[in-house]
Amino acid sequence: MSDRIEQFLVHLRLGKRSSQATLKAYGTDLRGFATWLAARSTALEQVGRLELRRYLVELEEQQLKATSIQRKLASLRSFYGWMQQEGHVQKDAARLVKGPRAPRRVPRFLTVPEVDALLAQPFDAGWQGCRDRAILEVLYSTGCRVSECASMTLRAVDLDEGYVRVTGKGDKQRLAMLGKAARSAIGEWLPHRSRLMADNKQRGVTALFVNRFGKPLSSRWVFETVVARARAAGLQVHLTPHGLRHSFATHLLDRGADLRTVQELLGHARLVTTEIYTHVSVGRLRDVYDQAHPQGRSAGTTRRRRQGTDDAATE
């Protein structure tokens, strides 16, 4: 089975252009399943829905989170779908297997005042302060993932038109908008970047954000920068780059953006992934409903007041 797994991972890397993180997750999940089969002396061709269900039950007994089990099942579904397509098995054993229902978590996000506090904190005028401010502004303005921010290239940025070409999962590209504050922050950072590149004699580095040696920042470095700056701003929440992505989507929807637009800006392949953010618009929808619907709260209050006046007049 190990040979089949490696062939499948090559298919993902070359055919699907999957990211390294995706390849690592799939490899871990499938090798774990292979170990489970080997312990039971079960051949790959003998695996059916019953064996897969037993595997999932054992994962539940190990108290794995439902989300982790669902991810492993998704890996198995992709693997067996490919196996059937390649003719290695006759039936896709994983296609109809259901995993545990995972609770739908509401993403954490910052309020607008919290974002203002984060971005309005004092940044020093040196290269690090300008770079950190630009990172925060770009993350909030574009809603990009931390990996997308770290891999963002100088060539992809168009400050005149106010957009950046973001390379997301599977090397898919999309346009993300740069607001006035983000464009200003990038503009202040670029001279520092040029100086760092010249001082370190770096050539051929295309990354927008670099360290003091003129080398591209890692995703981990961007992550730690956001955490440190959130702490410096005195925020009482544990903020990560993905928290800024959630805030980006939340604030757009809360101000009337349609779901399809937000899906496009976030780079989601499926609309259902974006729908998790619709919870934030409940308050706005309630306000609109109360003001516009005949039986809304405001209308009802007006009606009751009018009725009370009429009753008093009758008496």
Clarify whether residues 35 and 133 are in a common domain: no
DSSP notation for the chain: -HHHHHHHHHIIIIIS---HHHHHHHHHHHHHHHHHHHHTT--GGG--HHHHHHHHHHHHHTT--HHHHHHHHHHHHHHHHHHHHHTS-SS-TTTT---PPPP-PPPP---HHHHHHHHHS---SSHHHHHHHHHHHHHHHH---HHHHHT-BSTTEETTTTEEEEE-GGG-EEEEE--HHHHHHHHHHHHHHHHHHHHTT--S--BSSB-TTS-BPPHHHHHHHHHHHHHHTT-SS---HHHHHHHHHHHHHHTT--HHHHHHHHT-SSHHHHGGGGGGGHHHHHHHHHHHSTTSHHHHHHHHHHHHHHHHHH-
Q: Answer with the one of 86, 120, 151 that is the final residue of a domain.
A: 86
What mean pLDDT is reported for the chain?
A: 86
The CATH code of the domain that includes 150 is 1.10.443.10
Clarify whether residues 57 and 163 are in a common domain: no
In this structure, is residue 263 part of a structural domain?
A: yes
The CATH code of the domain that includes 55 is 1.10.150.130
Clarify whether residues 79 and 174 are in a common domain: no
More confident residue, 105 or 162: 162
Clarify whether residues 67 and 166 are in a common domain: no
In this structure, is residue 160 part of a structural domain?
A: yes
> Which residues are known catalytic residues?
145, 169, 242, 245, 268, 277
Clarify whether residues 80 and 122 are in a common domain: no
Clarify whether residues 62 and 127 are in a common domain: no
Clarify whether residues 184 and 238 are in a common domain: yes
> For residue 120, what pLDDT is reported?
95
User: How much is the average pLDDT of 188-204?
Assistant: 95
Question: Is the per-residue pLDDT at 61 higher than 70?
Answer: yes
pLDDT tens track for 136-183:
999 999 999 999 999 999 999 999 999 999 998 878 899 999 999 999
Domain that includes residue 221, residue range: 112-282
In this structure, is residue 296 part of a structural domain?
A: no
> For residue 181, what pLDDT is reported?
96
In this structure, is residue 94 part of a structural domain?
A: no
Number of domains in the chain: 2
> For residue 308, what pLDDT is reported?
43
User: How much is the average pLDDT of 110-127?
Assistant: 94
In this structure, is residue 138 part of a structural domain?
A: yes
pLDDT tier for residue 299 given thresholds of 50, 70 and 90: very low
User: How much is the average pLDDT of 204-211?
Assistant: 95
Clarify whether residues 230 and 124 are in a common domain: yes
- Are 8 and 82 spatial neighbours (Cβ–Cβ below 8 Å)? yes
pTM for this model (two decimals): 0.69
Clarify whether residues 119 and 60 are in a common domain: no
Clarify whether residues 203 and 131 are in a common domain: yes
